[in-house]
Amino acid sequence: MLRFFTMLSAVVLALASPAMAKDKLTIYTYDSFVSDWGPGPKIKADFEATCDCELEWVAVADAVATLNRIKLEGAGSRADILLGIDTSLTTEAAETGLFEEHGIDTKNLRLPLEWTDKTFVPYDYGHFAVIYDSEKVQTPPASLDELVNGDPGQKIVIQDPRTSSPGLGLLLWIKAVYGDKAGEAWTKLSKRVLTVTPGWSEAYGMFTKGEAPLVLSYTTSPAYHMVAENTDRYRAAAFAEGHYMQIEVAGILKSSQNKQLARKFLTFMTGPGFQNHIPTNNWMWPAGKTSEAMPDAFDKLVKPSKSLLLPADEVNANRKTWIDEWLKATTR
């Protein structure tokens, strides 16, 4: 058995030692960002064309896992940049002391709000939304309140805030709208909830299979169906109270040996070379300057009347309490 083990490792080692010559920038991100159909490969090509360097994507399962990996690796991390966490995690990430100020010019940013974080730079954003199946729902809820108080027979699938970003997004959305009354809102909403899935994929899969007419997702979800499947059957419901925002960011590691190059990448990230690939590859809104017109489908999307976002510090300080509140309200 030992021999088998050593043989296998030898083979693996031989396969995994690329020749190194140019400067290399290593970026940790979530895996769908760098999948063949994600923006990663295109961004890599565009960036390498400008920098005479090599960009290495290291993909980890999802955003939370990327941060956990940085925590596990500590100061010995290979990463120069972490890309992919959202604002519900930025305070926690900053508190690790492993990140340093980005120090770049953010004039290219295009966000619905002013960006003040000095550690992390946003690269895209989206709004959470309830997506409905227009073949089954004639009058979608027009507000979060209508969703909460609506017909319990009309079911919604949501995600678990303990295990998924959209799940946490809805938790914060309800907190932002209802404040101290969030628990009561959850109790009412839970009558409409068909089930709570651990991740976005299960929920969205159940929704497109027709098991529930409503699902928690993003305002940009209909764009995918319009562009790739040529259908506007699935639509986002515009909510009067506004929509909670998710802003995805990147930051530089203190331990990076390539900070010059890392800053160059972050600046590049806010410009067209990066941003042009966001809409139809990551299905989010670009957070910086693009040089191409937005696809038609994006024009047809719901534009939130108001963007809701709780301060990152507040989220970080209260997340456990709010999750407990949610648990109590929904398991009663």
Cite the beta strand spans of the chain per DSSP E: 23-30, 53-60, 81-86, 99-100, 120-133, 156-159, 193-197, 214-218, 234-237, 243-253, 285-286, 307-308
The verdict on 295 binding another protein (CB under 8 A) reads no
The verdict on 76 binding another protein (CB under 8 A) reads yes
Write the CA distances from 135 to 37, 132, 210, 232, 332, integer angstroms: 29, 9, 10, 10, 33
- Rounded to 10 degrees, the C-alpha dihedral 293/169/26/50 comes to 10
Site residues (CB under 8 A) for another protein, limited to 15-34: 16-17, 31-32, 34
Judged by CB under 8 A, the residue of 25, 60, 131, 174 near another protein is: 60
Site residues (CB under 8 A) for another protein, limited to 98-157: 155
DSSP string, 60-104: ESSHHHHHHHHHHHGGG---SEEEEEETTTHHHHHHTT-EE----
- As measured in angstroms, the least distance from the Cβ of 255 to another protein is 13
Q: Would you state the structure tokens that stand for residue 98, as one six-digit string?
A: 């492993």
225 or 289: CB nearest another protein = 225
DSSP string, 102-122: -----TT---SS----SSEEE
**Distance (Å, whole) CA 50 – CA 53:** 8
Judged by CB under 8 A, the residue of 51, 110, 187, 199 near another protein is: 199
Stretch that binds another protein, among 110-118, 123-131, 204-212, 310-318 (CB under 8 A): 204-212
The verdict on 200 binding another protein (CB under 8 A) reads yes
Stretch that binds another protein, among 1-9, 173-181, 284-292, 294-302 (CB under 8 A): 1-9
- As measured in angstroms, the least distance from the Cβ of 1 to another protein is 5
Judged by CB under 8 A, the residue of 162, 188, 233, 259 near another protein is: 162
Provide the 10 A C-beta neighbour count for residue 16. Answer: 7
What is the binding site for another protein (CB under 8 A)? 1-2, 4-5, 8-9, 12-13, 16-17, 31-32, 34-38, 40, 57-61, 64-65, 67-69, 71-73, 76, 155, 160, 162-163, 168, 190, 193-202, 204-206, 208-212, 221, 224-225, 228, 283, 319-320, 326-327, 330-331
